[in-house]
Structure 1
Amino acid sequence: MRKMQLLDALLQRAMVAIVRADTADAALRLAEACIAGGMTALEIAFTTPDTLAVLRALHARHGDALLLGAGTVLDAETARAAILAGARMIIAPSVDLATIALCQRYQVLSMPGALSPTEIVSAMQAGADIVKIFPAEMFGPAYIKAVRAPLPQAALMPTGGVTVDNLDQWFAHGAVAVGIGSSLTGPGTDGDDGAVTARARAFQAKMATIRAAGGVNGAAS
């Protein structure tokens, strides 16, 4: 799949489920629970043991039907290994120029993390496809609007603090996508995968109402 198709696929989904677990088996269960609820863009965090094995398994099971990403990627070596394992999104908490360059070389989505306008512009100049705003919960949806006032061209994906109740606010303030963590996968830490699937469906239902109002990918004012 070409990078322009990957970007379109992400913008169509507009939500990335973040899977972080204590074991590879738990990560696979969480991922499948999210997928069962309709979340087909996933980030498997590299803080999970055997992350590469999880990526390979999910890629083998779902192929291009799943927009698969690797998260907490801190360097180009890790990014390269993730791409070989099937990742098509490389997501980081920070800006690493070599990692962004590698993503451009292999035509996968580069999504470095940034917070300040200086960091955001640096990531954009380096070739980031989308800038992950992290930790977004520290400032809330209004921060996205504030940043986009001087940087309307910035494609921003807030991560942290995104819930079903405030999902519409992130898009209303200009986000093109969101990263969703514990508010989605939290019950999975206690083995309640059914609750994770139910929450995924709730996010999908809320997204449908936002789309109906024309509020996805920065369309709302």
Structure 2
Amino acid sequence: MFKTDIITRIEKTGAMAIVRTETIERGIEIAQGCLNGGVDVLEISYTLPNAGEVIEAINQKFNDQLVVGAGTVLDAETARLAILKGAKFIIAPNFSKEVARLCNRYQIPYAPGCTTITEMVEAVEVGASFIKAFPISNFYGPELVSVLKTPIPVMPILASGGITLDNLSDWIKKGTECCGFGGLLTKGTSEEITENAKKIRAIIDETRSAMK
């Protein structure tokens, strides 16, 4: 799968499950629930030591049905390990030029967390595919996207934190390329995750359709 294909899949889906799980079995259960509900992009967080194994197992079971990447990747060493395990994209709460260079080398989309315009512009200049508006999305809400895209309309935004079923439509209307979800897409049974994923899918599709 080429870098452009991965970016297109992320943008087309518009939603991403942010997964932290201690077992491969639970990771697969979450992945199945998301897939059944129409959300086919998952970020597996490296806050837990088994993240690489979870990425590898989900890839083996679902192949290209899902686009699975690594999250909370703070450094280039972790990024390389994640890519070797099959991560299709790299996301971080921080911006690292070393990670950006490594991801460019292997043609992997990189979404660093940035809090200032200066950081964001610098990240895009060194090849970031998305800017993760974190943790500022929690505090500013959907209006943040307008603030960023008014001076820089081409800034690709991945927002996580503070996004709910009630305000998801606002995030999409403002131009957010992809919205990250934790509990809605990772808690409960696989069936409950599917129902939440269907609701998220419906909101995104209906909002985008109305914007055309």
TM-score band (shorter)? over 0.9
Q: Is the 8 A contact 1:23 1:49 kept in 2?
A: no
Match of 1:167 in 2: 168
After TM superposition, give the deviation of residue 54 of structure 1 in Å: 0.4
Match of 1:219 in 2: none
Taking structure 2 as the reference length, the TM-score comes to 0.93
After TM superposition, give the deviation of residue 196 of structure 1 in Å: 1.4
Aligned AA for 1:156?
I
Question: Matched residues in 2 for 1:80 and 1:62: separation?
Answer: 22
Q: Which deviates the most, 150-159 or 29-38?
A: 29-38
Identity, % of aligned positions:
37
Question: Matched residues in 1 for 2:115 and 2:31: separation?
Answer: 27
- What is the CA deviation profile of residues 82-121 of structure 1, one whole-angstrom value per residue up to 9, with x for unaligned ones? 1111111101111011111111100011111112112211
Aligned AA for 1:155?
P
Question: Matched residues in 2 for 1:114 and 1:60: separation?
Answer: 32
**Could you tell me which of 195, 206, 210 is aligned with 2:203?**
206
After TM superposition, give the deviation of residue 15 of structure 1 in Å: 1.1
- What is the CA deviation profile of residues 42-87 of structure 1, one whole-angstrom value per residue up to 9, with x for unaligned ones? 1011113411110111111111221111000011111111111111
After TM superposition, give the deviation of residue 5 of structure 1 in Å: 1.4
Q: Which deviates the most, 94-103 or 30-39?
A: 30-39
Match of 2:77 in 1: 77
Question: Matched residues in 2 for 1:38 and 1:172: separation?
Answer: 20
- Report the CA distance shift for 1:22/1:160 in structure 2 as closer, same or farther (over 3 A): same
Match of 1:218 in 2: none
Match of 2:123 in 1: 123
Which runs of 5 or more structure 1 residues have no equivalent in the other structure? 216-221
Q: Is the 8 A contact 1:113 1:131 kept in 2?
A: yes
Question: Matched residues in 1 for 2:32 and 2:65: separation?
Answer: 13
Taking structure 1 as the reference length, the TM-score comes to 0.90
Aligned counterparts, 1:22-171, within 5 A: 22-135=22-135, 136-171=137-172
Q: Is the 8 A contact 1:69 1:88 kept in 2?
A: yes
Q: Is the 8 A contact 1:93 1:112 kept in 2?
A: yes
After TM superposition, give the deviation of residue 184 of structure 1 in Å: 2.9
Over the residues paired in the alignment, what is the CA RMSD in angstroms? Answer: 1.5
Question: Matched residues in 2 for 1:66 and 1:43: separation?
Answer: 11
Q: Which has the higher contact order (CA 8 A, sep 6+)?
A: 2
Match of 1:183 in 2: 184
Q: Is the 8 A contact 2:27 2:58 kept in 1?
A: no
After TM superposition, give the deviation of residue 150 of structure 1 in Å: 1.4
Which runs of 5 or more structure 2 residues have no equivalent in the other structure? none
Question: Matched residues in 2 for 1:184 and 1:165: separation?
Answer: 15
After TM superposition, give the deviation of residue 29 of structure 1 in Å: 2.2
- What is the CA deviation profile of residues 146-183 of structure 1, one whole-angstrom value per residue up to 9, with x for unaligned ones? 11111112111111111121111112112111111123
Aligned AA for 1:212?
S
Question: Matched residues in 2 for 1:126 and 1:158: separation?
Answer: 20
After TM superposition, give the deviation of residue 210 of structure 1 in Å: 1.4
Per the alignment, in what secondary structure is the counterpart of residue 213 of structure 1?
helix
Question: Matched residues in 1 for 2:208 and 2:148: separation?
Answer: 23
Q: Is the 8 A contact 1:156 1:176 kept in 2?
A: yes
